[in-house]
Amino acid sequence: MPPARDQPAAFVPAAGRHGLTALYDPVVALTMREERWRARVLEEVQRPSGDPPVPVDRVLDLGCGTGTLAVALAQRLPGAVVAGVDVDPAILERAAAKADRAGVRVEWREARAGRLPFAAGTFQRVTCTLVLHHLLPGDKIAALRECRRVLQPGGRLVVADWGRPQDPVMRAAFFGLQLLDGFGPTGEHARGLLPARIAAAGLRDVRRVERLRTPAGTLEILVAERS
């Protein structure tokens, strides 16, 4: 039987469990070297792409969570339209409050990653940070295909997410995160399959531009271009 319309669809929430969302921002700041990788993501968003270079005036942050990156994007790109999409309506309220406190405008939308409410070619950049490891393999590829669809030719996807642990210490660290977020969604990350999944979604020049050791495992920044 299909779920009743007022029941939220199943998803892995930001902190792995409903009710822990208030802890999300401090936990990420303390355990995931947040400042370093968010700065690198912003750098990749601002790095020119396309020939001739495409001006960046529409950016999507997919799985925006508490809105930290979307707010930073709006601050960095004052003339641009920034959209933040998440499946969790409660977390979008937190994100909107964060944007209000920062005095920036972000278009918040509740939607699933596999079915984005935007026309093809809407954005020059899509960011997707710490989201794909929440999705089961079929949903992951559907989300990546949607990223490609909503990107303009010459646009860029910037992903920050968990990669194959580079040593036993990182493997043990990532096991803890897998216990929280689930082995189904995180398994392909432990096996280092994310770059291949991005390429399989039709994006080209998939490159790892950063790999960080963190107390929660090996965090990678991947970029890919839209032909």
Ligand X SMILES: C[S@@+](CC[C@H](N)C(=O)[O-])C[C@H]1O[C@@H](n2cnc3c(N)ncnc32)[C@H](O)[C@@H]1O
Q: Give the pair of three-digit tokens for residue 118.
A: 């935007």
Cα separation, 121 vs 129, whole angstroms: 20
Q: How near is the Cβ of 11 to ligand X at its closest, in Å?
A: 4
Q: Give the pair of three-digit tokens for residue 48.
A: 């020119």
Q: Does 222 bind ligand X (CB under 6 A)?
A: no
Q: Does 91 bind ligand X (CB under 6 A)?
A: yes
Cα separation, 183 vs 164, whole angstroms: 14
Token pair 């929660």 is found at 216
Q: How near is the Cβ of 51 to ligand X at its closest, in Å?
A: 30
Q: Does 13 bind ligand X (CB under 6 A)?
A: yes
CB-nearer residue toward ligand X: 10 or 119: 10
CB-nearer residue toward ligand X: 88 or 220: 88
The count of chain residues that interact with ligand X, using the rule CB under 6 A, is: 22
Determine contact, residues 98/73, Cβ cutoff 8 Å.
no
Q: Does 150 bind ligand X (CB under 6 A)?
A: no
Secondary-structure breakdown of the chain: helix, strand, coil percentages, each rounded to the nearest 5: 40, 25, 35
* Stretch of 72-80, 84-92, 117-125, 146-154 contacting ligand X, by CB under 6 A: 84-92
Q: Does 177 bind ligand X (CB under 6 A)?
A: no
CB-nearer residue toward ligand X: 69 or 222: 69
Cα separation, 209 vs 192, whole angstroms: 15
Angle at 211 between CA 210 and CA 212, to 5 degrees: 120
Q: Does 131 bind ligand X (CB under 6 A)?
A: yes
Q: Does 41 bind ligand X (CB under 6 A)?
A: no
Cα separation, 5 vs 174, whole angstroms: 36
CB-nearer residue toward ligand X: 29 or 172: 29
Q: Give the pair of three-digit tokens for residue 143.
A: 């989300």
Q: Three-state DSSP class for 25?
A: helix
* Stretch of 52-60, 85-93, 147-155, 208-216 contacting ligand X, by CB under 6 A: 85-93
Binding-site member from 86, 146, 188, 220 for ligand X (CB under 6 A)? 86
Please report, as ranges, the residues that interact with ligand X according to CB under 6 A. Answer: 11-14, 28, 63-65, 68-69, 86-88, 91, 112-113, 129-131, 134-135, 139
